[in-house]
Amino acid sequence: MDLYRYIEKAARFRWWFLVLVVLAPVVASAAGEGGSGFTLGSLVENLLIGLILGSVYALIALGYTLVYGVIKLINFAHGDIYMLGAFTGFYLLRFTVRWLNFTQGISLIWCFVISVVISAILCAALAVLMERLAYRPLRKSSRIAALITAVGVSFLLENGGIIAFGPNPKSYEPRKLEVYQLQFAGSEDFSNARQQEIFDRTQQNFQSSELSKTPYARVRVVSKAGSSEWSPTLILSMDEQFGLEEIPKDQIANDSPQQLASIGYSNDSKAGTTTVSWARAAVADYQVRPIFSNSEGEQLAFHLPIKNAAGDDIRVPWFNVVIVVVTAILLWALNILINRSMFGISMRALSFDMNAAKLMGVDTDKVIAQTFAIGGACAAVAGNIVGLYNQQIDPLMGILPGLKAFVAAVVGGIGSIPGAAVGGLIMGISEGLVKGAGAGKMADAMAFAILILVLLFKPTGIFGRTTREKV
Amino acid sequence: MINPYWELVIFLVMINVIFTLSLNLILGYNGQFSLGHAGFLAIGAYGSGVATTALGLPLFAGVLMSIACCIVAAVIVGYPCLRLGGDYLAIATLGFAEIIRIVLLALPEKTFGGATGMQNIHNIYDYLPVPAGAHNGIINLIFTIVFSVVFLALTIWGVFALGNFLNGVLQKRFGGNFWRYIVWAGFVVLIIANLSGTKGTASVSAKPGIAGYVMDIFQFSNAMKQPSLESRQWLVFLIYGLIVLAVNQLIRNFLNSVPGRGVVAIRENEIAATNLGINVFWLKLQNFMLGCAFAGLAGALLAHTIPLIKPIEFGFLKSVDVLLMVVLGGMGSMTGSFVGAVSISVLPEVLRGVGEWRMVLYSLVLILFMLFKPGGIFGTNELSDIFRLPWLKRGRDAEASDA
């Protein structure tokens, strides 16, 4: 019956508007800097990119649309939840790959799934916390106060993110570890020949070890119990460059030097004495195998029989297909949740009239918190997907996608899940086309131009209901 | 003489006061949320910058042009958004500011400077007489200060006396109250008069706007035609101070006029305002245009004050800055805007050591103020409501005695 309703709604929808929104970027881009216009191949290629972007926007827009539907608040911090989702996913993936893939041999796909699920749970918890601390006390006060608070929370998360994760982008790229040397305090007399010998042995050890096969090498540098401190600057630079961890001092004391050799390090300590003079690490290049790759580390993909601008067949990685499928499944499941479950009914009741819903026995606080949790989880999934898709994340990555997702929610009709999906696709595809035409700078501007056009001609959006404000 | 660093800080404070007042008019008095106010600042800055350099217009024409540009932009953004209830304006203005920034980056570099910024804008000092030397003596300085104060007082008094007279005449002839039109006209005249200076060349010395003409008339000019650096500085402070006061007075008068009361009524209850016969959309749009016009003025002054304007300076951060100024001072309080603008503009200079935690601090202040003191420092009170001084008989006392 749902399907029937949507068809009915779609029939009432003004088609010229969708045509306008999709055609505008094409026309604009044909007239733009690229000049040459589209071939079929580049059109298809950019449409596919747009599809990926669109499904990500749809996932983020979902949080906006649900929260706006329930408490009429533009949750500005939603884009930053998405950023935090990407970061928690990044660290969790690193962790799971180290400890599950390397040590337990669990496949990378499961590592990814686990880290996505955990980061979704964390972000849902954060969204609920945010609602509890910042938005709930303001529910009775003016809407503008809540809106300003939302801006404040967003600003707090961004700048907190800059302080916590550093302002520079973090990259999923495979790291190239090179041979480097650790000089411990209290270095002592070793001839060069002796050093070379140890170094060679280390390298051999490493290449035959499990470590050389793993994407994320956790290298522990330990010294023997009672040894004095090591040079901290070196450890720091290791940490920044290679993502190694600094080992707490007390832990160092307990580790035995034998452990070192087995994981790629070698040190040499004088028998009977406690000082470690130096250690040299030889870590070869390693490659991160992409998720959905074969044993050679090539990304699994299929080819479409259409030539792109470079004259090759268009290559579609399976990961991209997975993104779209996962998004579609999530949106479908949520749509069912909203339309059929008790939670969905109380949520819709809440968005219709909060006081009446309260009188009918709906636990409004709980439902609002659940809404925030769902939005946060979806944003986290989107963040994880984008992180792996772009291979790069940074603390300010949430601002623009957040805004565009809000525009997507408005385009689709705020408060409606199919609207969020359609709006996200419209935004994503138009952005893909504009970028494909070589006017990449203008893609952001166009998103807001679309917003202003939508507000001018169809402010309720595609699936929106026309409501009249009551006294 | 105040050193150039603090001089710039004082200028920025004055410009920020205008900017904050402009946002307060929209956010504080009308309850509409413009989250991309920096976009209008950018339009103002680039409008005046391009008008005075590429088009070669005089200073006042540049300022008026940037105000006009801002009003047009305000209509483009405000017309679709203000018709709707809800918070669409916030997102639309935010997006609009982003569009402005991107467009400024994409515009031809020769005229607009591109990402590196526009460097060749004439500074306000270019419109003043060339200084004779570093110090012309203490007499010159004292003279300038006294002159400034007397001139300020005379101008304000003169404008209002003239306005009152005109209003009386018009009232007799046509009936009704014409104050708001008079104040608008006076505002424009004041800007033209203050900024109508000509840029000096090798042979012709620059004239510092109205102050220069007045000095010519009174033959004070021997000291002022070749002023010392201090005198020049005081003159610029005077000009900027006058504009700040004019903006303050204009907004005050607007808010006390019939449409101004309507603006506040819309903030209090839109539906009730509709029932009172107020054309809510049209008044909101008018108010938004007015606020954006002042933002454009602030931008124009900014362009002629700082050595370089870059698109990146007018980003989201600037919008949040001005939002914080309004919220901290108190939404709906002119005094609050002054206090907020001054404190937030000076705070970064004081908090240099805090580094990147400053932004975290800002956002916490924003959240905590909203949670625990949503009215800001002053709420909707003015200075005259707090210190009930006899000569500051405005605000609620005056309203009460009127009624």
pLDDT single digits (tens) B201-242: 555 556 555 555 555 544 444 555 556 666 677 778 877 887
Residue A284 banded pLDDT, cuts 50, 70, 90: very low
In this structure, chain B runs to a length of 403
CB contact under 8 A, B99 and A448: yes
Q: Which residues in B lie closer than 8 A to residue A149 (C-beta atoms)?
A: 366-367, 370-371
Quote the CA–CA distance of A444 and A259 in Å, as a whole number.
Answer: 52
Q: Select the more confidently predicted residue: A34 or B296.
A: B296
* Residue A274: predicted pLDDT: 25
Question: Residues in chain B whose beta carbon is closer than 8 A to a beta carbon of chain A?
Answer: 27, 31, 33, 35, 76-77, 79-81, 83-88, 90-92, 94-96, 98-99, 102-103, 105-106, 271, 316, 320, 323, 327, 331, 356-357, 359-360, 362-364, 366-367, 370-371, 374
Mean pLDDT of A63-70: 90
Q: Which residues in A lie closer than 8 A to residue B318 (C-beta atoms)?
A: none
* DSSP per position, A7-56: HHHHHHS-HHHHHHHHHHHHHHHHSSSS-S---HHHHHHHHHHHHHHHHH
- At residue A419's C-alpha, the angle toward residues A413 and A425, to 5°, is 120
Q: Which residues in A lie closer than 8 A to residue B88 (C-beta atoms)?
A: 410, 455, 459
* Residue B148: predicted pLDDT: 66
CB contact under 8 A, B356 and A163: yes
Residue A353 banded pLDDT, cuts 50, 70, 90: confident
Residue of B26, B37, B88 to mutate, testing the A interface (most A Cβ within 10 Å of its Cβ): B88
Mean pLDDT is lowest, of A125-134, B122-131, B193-202, B275-284, for B193-202
| Closest CA–CA distance from residue A387 to any residue of chain B (Å) | 24
CB contact under 8 A, B360 and A156: yes
CB contact under 8 A, A141 and B105: no
* Residue A376: predicted pLDDT: 96
| Closest CA–CA distance from residue A28 to any residue of chain B (Å) | 15
The position carrying tokens 């419209």 is A426
* Residue A282: predicted pLDDT: 32
Query: Which of these, B334, B322, B337, B333, lies nearest to B44 by C-alpha position?
Result: B322
Chain B residue nearest residue A455, CA to CA: B80
Whether the predicted pLDDT of A82 surpasses 90: yes
* DSSP per position, A350-389: HHH-HHHHHHTT--HHHHHHHHHHHHHHHHHHHHHHHHHH
Whether the predicted pLDDT of A4 surpasses 50: yes
Cβ-proximal residues to B124 (8 Å cutoff; 6+ apart), any chain = B236, B239, B301, B304, B305
Whether the predicted pLDDT of A153 surpasses 90: yes
Cβ-proximal residues to A266 (8 Å cutoff; 6+ apart), any chain = A198, A199, A201, A202, A205, A260, A279, A280
- The secondary structure element, H or E, covering residue A182 is strand A180-183
Mean pLDDT of B183-192: 69
Mean pLDDT of A138-161: 89
Q: Select the more confidently predicted residue: A156 or A456.
A: A156
| Closest CA–CA distance from residue B261 to any residue of chain A (Å) | 20
CA distances for B269 relative to A142, A469, B253, B254, angstroms: 11, 13, 22, 19
Q: Which of B31, B87, B362 sits opposite A74 (nearest CB)?
A: B87
> Which two three-digit tokens encode residue B327?
């919220």
- The secondary structure element, H or E, covering residue A155 is helix A143-165
Mean pLDDT of B369-373: 86
Chain B residue nearest residue A154, CA to CA: B363
Q: Helices (DSSP H) in A72-134: which residue ranges? A: 78-96, 103-104, 108-130
* Residue A377: predicted pLDDT: 95
Does the complex come out with an ipTM higher than 0.90? no
Whether the predicted pLDDT of A245 surpasses 60: no
The position carrying tokens 């900027």 is B240
> Which two three-digit tokens encode residue B187?
């505002």
Whether the predicted pLDDT of B144 surpasses 50: yes
pLDDT in tens, A359-409: 999 999 999 999 999 999 999 999 999 988 888 889 989 888 998 998 899
Chains A, B: CB contacts within 8 A come to 117
Q: Which residues in B lie closer than 8 A to residue A451 (C-beta atoms)?
A: 91-92, 95
Quote the CA–CA distance of A49 and A59 in Å, as a whole number.
Answer: 16
Q: Select the more confidently predicted residue: A142 or A194.
A: A142
* Residue A253: predicted pLDDT: 38
* Residue A30: predicted pLDDT: 57
Residue A88 banded pLDDT, cuts 50, 70, 90: very high
Q: Which residues in B lie closer than 8 A to residue A144 (C-beta atoms)?
A: 27, 31, 33, 331
CB contact under 8 A, A149 and B35: no
Q: Is B324 exposed, middle or buried (0-12, 13-18, 19+ CB in 10 A)?
A: buried
Mean pLDDT is lowest, of A87-101, A272-286, B50-64, B385-399, for A272-286
CB contact under 8 A, A74 and B106: no
Whether the predicted pLDDT of A190 surpasses 90: no
* CATH fold group of domain A3-173+304-457: ABC transporter involved in vitamin B12 uptake, BtuC (1.10.3470)
Q: Select the more confidently predicted residue: B127 or B45.
A: B45
Q: Which residues in A lie closer than 8 A to residue B379 (C-beta atoms)?
A: none
pLDDT in tens, B320-351: 889 989 988 888 888 899 999 998 888 877 77
> Which two three-digit tokens encode residue A284?
């070869």
Report how far Cα B401 is from the mean position of its chain's Cα atoms. 31
Quote the CA–CA distance of A56 and A383 in Å, as a whole number.
Answer: 8
Whether the predicted pLDDT of A251 surpasses 80: no
**What is the torsional sign of CA B397, B398, B401, B403?**
negative
Whether the predicted pLDDT of A50 surpasses 80: yes
> Which two three-digit tokens encode residue B137?
């003596």
The position carrying tokens 């216009």 is A37
Residue of A68, A399, A448 to mutate, testing the B interface (most B Cβ within 10 Å of its Cβ): A448
Q: Which A residues in the span 280-339 are in contact with B, Cβ-Cβ below 8 Å? A: none
* Residue B198: predicted pLDDT: 61
Q: Select the more confidently predicted residue: B386 or A62.
A: A62
Q: How many CB atoms lie within 10 A of CB B129?
A: 22
Q: Which of B86, B323, B371 sits opposite A137 (nearest CB)?
A: B371
Mean pLDDT of A176-194: 39
CB contact under 8 A, B88 and A455: yes
* Residue A445: predicted pLDDT: 81
Whether the predicted pLDDT of A249 surpasses 50: no
Please say whether the beta carbons of A341 and A357 come within 8 A: no
Residues of chain A above pLDDT 70, percent: 61
Q: Which A residues in the span 161-190 are in contact with B, Cβ-Cβ below 8 Å? A: 162-163
Amino acid at the residue B266? I
* Residue B295: predicted pLDDT: 95
Amino acid at the residue B76? I
Most confident of A25-39, A319-333, B87-101: A319-333
* Residue B132: predicted pLDDT: 56
Tell me the pTM.
Answer: 0.74
CB contact under 8 A, A163 and B360: yes
Please say whether the beta carbons of A76 and A377 come within 8 A: no
What distance separates the 2 farthest-apart alpha carbons in chain B?
Answer: 65
Query: Torsion angle of alpha carbons B102, B107, B111, B117, nearest 10°?
Result: 30
* Residue A178: predicted pLDDT: 32
Q: In 3-state terms, what secondary structure has residue B380?
A: coil
**Domain residue spans in chain A?**
3-173+304-457, 179-280
* Residue A260: predicted pLDDT: 34
Q: Which residues in A lie closer than 8 A to residue B27 (C-beta atoms)?
A: 144
Query: Which of these, A86, A108, A124, lies nearest to A385 by C-alpha position?
Result: A86
* Residue A248: predicted pLDDT: 41
Instruction: Fill in the DSSP letter of residue A293.
Output: B
pLDDT in tens, A399-444: 889 989 988 998 888 888 888 999 999 899 888 888 877 766 777 7
CB contact under 8 A, A155 and B79: no
Q: What is the mean pLDDT of chain A?
A: 71
CB contact under 8 A, A445 and B102: yes
Q: Which residues in A lie closer than 8 A to residue B90 (C-beta atoms)?
A: 74, 147
* Residue A110: predicted pLDDT: 85
Chain A residue nearest residue B77, CA to CA: A452
* Residue B167: predicted pLDDT: 80
Q: Which residues in A lie closer than 8 A to residue B374 (C-beta atoms)?
A: 138, 141-142, 145
Please say whether the beta carbons of B48 and B116 come within 8 A: no
Cβ-proximal residues to B195 (8 Å cutoff; 6+ apart), any chain = B58, B59, B60, B63, B127, B209, B239
3-state SS, one letter per residue, for B54-96:
CCCCCHHHHHHHHHHHHHHHHHHHHHHHHCCCCCHHHHHHHHH
* Residue B112: predicted pLDDT: 85
Residue of A452, A470, A471 to mutate, testing the B interface (most B Cβ within 10 Å of its Cβ): A452
Chain B residue nearest residue A139, CA to CA: B371
